[in-house]
Amino acid sequence: MNNSIRVRFAPSPTGPLHIGGLRTALFNYLFAKKNNGSFILRIEDTDKNRYRSGSEEHIIDSLKWCGLEPDESPFKPGRYGPYRQSERREIYKKAIQELIDKKSAYYAFDTKEDLEKYRYECEKKGQVFSYGHENRKGLKNSLNLGEKEVSKMIDSGEPYVIRFKTPANKTIVCEDVLRGSVSVNSNIVDDKILYKSDGMPTYHFANVVDDMAMEITHVIRGEEWLPSLPLHWMIYDAFECPKKPLFVHLPLILKPEGKGKLSKRDGEKFGFPVYATSWKEKNKEEIRGYREFGYLPVSVVNFLSLLGWNPGNEKEIFCLSELINEFDFKGLNKSGARFDPEKNKWFNHCHIQKTENNIFESMINEEFKEAHKTYNNQQTNKIIGLVKPRLETLDDLSKVCGFFYVDPVVFSEKSLKKFKNTNSDEILKSLAMLLENKEDQENLKEHLKALSKEKDWGFGKILGLLRLSIVGDLSGPDLFEIISLIGKETCVKRILSLISVLEKK
């Protein structure tokens, strides 16, 4: 038995990786790395009916973008492979036979029609049909049929499933790291199907078999799997497993408003991503992820880490290595964590401030190729320094720094209304003349103050019109820094352009 920490993230390729699943992967990764253990990616693809093309690639892409590289996976196999359940059929075949031999599982030949009939009869009596210890002896299965008859039915190709024989009248005491002991009477657990009629194992069976075979020490998964814990516990017992993994069921990520867990529809409703990277299905519109919305992977990881966990101090901004150092189970919460899209943006803003300028320089160069060449490195650095504090996402970059490279062609309507039907034309013409005639741009502020005093024009109005002509709006970085970078010729050209726009209003 391997004594080192081994955890797994085991998604099903039934669609894109939701950020709830990504957070589960993150907590597994953090715990493994904190304890010098292994983080394993296992693809649970036994449900062929729900399989969606591209899902596995999306899972891999999302983990890679966030820096959560598995130590073992279908693409980085170790000695515990294969890492896709569809490639582990022989392992499951052997394991299910072991349970049949131990009388912990049995063949069931009930047809869909048979089961519907039993359900209907129970409903007439005001009961709920459950295939279990109370009625299994009266149903069509190998517990009632002779060995020869069972063999004959199997050999003739009659469809069957294999069910778990849940022990009757037994108290199952399960352990969860967050919730302590959870006691359940086995009589409330029905005889779940372990093997389906298509020859594939169900999630419950494959999950336990793989965790044993891969020597998983800790199962860290979502709270929605807590009701399945007693069944999994009994399957471990049926295999006489010497040491079960420790179970940690993570709290749900809740909707921004109202009750229930976060869903894809919440993203559509509130306008935020619910996937790390974009998802595209054939003949359907692409759904953008955090990457495409201009979020940094470090900020997404940081934000997700604090949904259901806290470090026990006031610190909020973490990089991945810091999270690894800080993470432990003591910081996990039992109650659900509400998703806050605005807080998500705040984390991204904070990480953008810590990002090296050269990242932004390459983005600016790509966006404004020719115009970018007009600035030297020192000026570009200055531009980035001015706009960085105004960025919430990388997508905002061209918007907040575009006026350094491109003359505004659209002016804020609200701002234009503010200056319409006043002496704006006269002020703007005076500003153009002042900039053309004054060589010393360093004293521009003083010259403007003198103009304000001489003409009895409000200094705020002068600055507002000047900013509107240069930026296209009344907000932005320091106006005089902008003017010194773009130069007076560009300023004069933009002032004349605004005069033209106001004349048409």
Q: What would the 3-class secondary structure string for 136-179 be?
A: HHHCCECCCCCHHHHHHHHHCCCCCEEEECCCCCCEEEEEECCC
| Six-digit token string for 116 | 């519907």
Question: Are 44 and 12 contacting, i.e. CB atoms less than 8 angstroms apart?
Answer: yes
The per-residue pLDDT for 2 is 53
DSSP summary character for residue 13 = S
The per-residue pLDDT for 1 is 45
Residue 425 and residue 220: Cα distance in Å, rounded?
67
Q: What residue ranges of the chain have pLDDT lower than 70? A: 1-3, 438-441, 505
- Cα 292 to chain centroid distance, Å, stands at 13
DSSP annotation string for 293-336:
TT--HHHHHHHHHTSSB--SSS-----HHHHHHH--GGGB-SS-
Within 10 Å of residue 101's Cβ, how many Cβ atoms? 9
Q: Which are the catalytic amino acids? A: 264
- pLDDT for 193-219, tens place per residue? 999 888 889 999 999 999 999 999 999
| Six-digit token string for 362 | 């390459």
- pLDDT for 442-451, tens place per residue? 789 999 999 9
Question: Are 256 and 186 contacting, i.e. CB atoms less than 8 angstroms apart?
Answer: no
| 357 backbone dihedrals φ, ψ, rounded to 5° | -60, -30
The per-residue pLDDT for 420 is 79
- HSE, CB side, 13 Å, CA atoms: give it for residue 349: 11
- pLDDT for 377-401, tens place per residue? 999 999 999 999 999 999 999 899 9
